[in-house]
């Protein structure tokens, strides 16, 4: 395939990936409205761990090669961080809904840009700092601190965004020595162990129909990660990352159509500011690259 056709396919796969992840978020919200968040995420991670082990077993060297790392502490912390971040984000869905949670969460690329200096040693110029400031102004527009009664629950997706940004930075850091397959393996297995320790105490029976939704949730989780890996195999991250913002669009559509959520004007305006700032930051990274 040519480079152009590879990029087109990568963009299509990224759009499909964002739709799958948005669908996953909608199902997570549905289940977490009825069952404990920790139990829902735990079952999801059991399937995810089985998936990554199966993928590792099919590669050269098998599971032992995938698990081999010189950075076990960092890799374990990454897996723990992502698992707990998923719990925080699913909790945000039940507190605020998909629309507002994703509107705030969209700031995570800006957090990555802000922390890339102290963690990765990258130079952050004034243009990127201006974009970061604009993005957080967008967050403030959404949260509206000081107007009426401020809902503390609005901070939950912001915490999730910061946790995911740290996870992304650590993933970039460990990639200097470990392969993507190794990081993927540790993410799934450590996450499953973490969620089992936390979630097994909150086990409760589920209805047959909800077990069906749980099965769909597990499949979307595994397929979404597989699609994302394929995207990055076909094209550079800087070329396709802007299309990741479509997850906000798809999640908002599910929230509006399925859960009867509404889009307040300040949320729409703040999300637009965040997305524009994030796209500018990604463009600057691509120009520098």
The Cα–Cα gap between 154 and 163 comes to: 15
pLDDT(165) > 70: yes
Nearest alpha-carbon partner for 199 in 31, 23, 26, 22? 31
pLDDT tens profile 265-277: 877 887 788 778 7
Minimum mean pLDDT range among 79-88, 199-208, 255-264: 255-264
Rg of the chain over CA atoms, in angstroms? 19
Residue spans of the domains in the chain: they are 3-288
The tokens of 239 are what? Answer: 């070329």
Beta-carbon neighbour count of residue 36 at 10 Å?
A: 15
Sign of CA dihedral 111, 113, 117, 120: positive
Name the most confidently modeled range: 4-13, 33-42, 114-123, 251-260.
Answer: 33-42
- pLDDT at position 271 is 79
**Residue 251, CA atoms < 13 Å, CB-side half-sphere:** 30
Contacts of 166 (CB under 8 A, 6+ apart): 81, 115, 119
pLDDT(66) > 70: yes
- pLDDT at position 117 is 72
The Cα–Cα gap between 160 and 173 comes to: 20
pLDDT(90) > 50: yes
Whole-angstrom CA distances from 8 to 77, 183, 285, 286 are: 35, 27, 21, 18
Average pLDDT over residues 87-93: 93
The Cα–Cα gap between 103 and 97 comes to: 10
pLDDT(263) > 60: yes
Annotate 52-84 with b (16+ C-beta within 10 A) or e (fewer).
bbebbeeeeeebeebbebebeebbbbbbbbbbb
Task: Sort 6 into a burial class: Cβ within 10 Å, 0-12 / 13-18 / 19+.
Answer: middle
Strand ranges for the chain from DSSP E? none
The tokens of 224 are what? Answer: 């979404």
Q: Which has more pLDDT, 61 or 38?
A: 38
Q: Are 20 and 220 in contact (CB under 8 A)?
A: yes
- pLDDT at position 25 is 92
Find tokens 């969209």 and name the residue.
106
Average pLDDT over residues 150-171: 84
Minimum mean pLDDT range among 18-32, 114-128, 201-215: 114-128
Helices in 68-154 by DSSP H: which ranges? 72-96, 98-105, 108-120, 126-143
> What percent of the chain has pLDDT above 90?
33
The Cα–Cα gap between 77 and 70 comes to: 14
pLDDT tens profile 101-154: 888 888 887 787 777 777 767 666 767 777 777 777 777 777 765 544 456 777
pLDDT tens profile 31-49: 999 999 999 999 999 999 9
The Cα–Cα gap between 252 and 259 comes to: 10
Task: Please report which confidence band the pLDDT of residue 282 belongs to, taking 50, 70 and 90 as the band edges.
Answer: low
Q: Are 274 and 141 in contact (CB under 8 A)?
A: no
The Cα–Cα gap between 223 and 231 comes to: 12
């Amino acid at each position: 395939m040519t480079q152009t056709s590879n990029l087109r396919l990568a963009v299509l796969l990224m759009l499909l990936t964002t739709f799958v992840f948005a669908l996953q978020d909608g199902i997570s919200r549905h289940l977490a409205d009825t069952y404990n968040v920790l139990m829902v995420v735990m079952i999801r991670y059991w399937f995810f761990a089985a998936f990554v082990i199966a993928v590792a077993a099919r590669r050269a060297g098998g599971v032992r090669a995938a698990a081999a790392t010189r950075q076990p502490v960092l890799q374990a912390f990454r897996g723990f961080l992502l698992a707990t971040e998923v719990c925080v984000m699913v909790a945000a869905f039940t507190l605020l809904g998909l629309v507002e949670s994703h509107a705030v969460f969209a700031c995570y690329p800006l957090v990555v840009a802000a922390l890339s200096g102290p963690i990765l040693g990258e130079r952050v110029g004034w243009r990127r700092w201006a974009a970061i400031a604009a993005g957080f102004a967008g967050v403030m527009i959404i949260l509206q601190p000081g107007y009426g009664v401020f809902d503390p629950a609005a901070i939950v997706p912001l915490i999730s965004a910061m946790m995911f940004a740290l996870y992304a930075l650590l993933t970039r850091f460990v990639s200097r020595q470990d392969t993507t397959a190794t990081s993927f393996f540790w993410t799934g297995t450590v996450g499953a162990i973490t969620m089992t320790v936390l979630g097994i105490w909150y086990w409760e029976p589920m209805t047959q129909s909800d077990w069906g939704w749980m099965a769909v949730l597990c499949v979307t989780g595994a397929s979404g990660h597989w699609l994302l890996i394929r995207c990055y195999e076909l094209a550079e991250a800087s070329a396709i990352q802007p299309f990741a913002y479509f997850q906000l669009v798809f999640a908002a559509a599910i929230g509006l159509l399925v859960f009867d959520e509404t889009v307040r004007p300040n949320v729409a305006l703040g999300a637009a500011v965040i997305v524009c700032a994030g796209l500018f930051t990604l463009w600057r990274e691509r120009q520098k690259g």
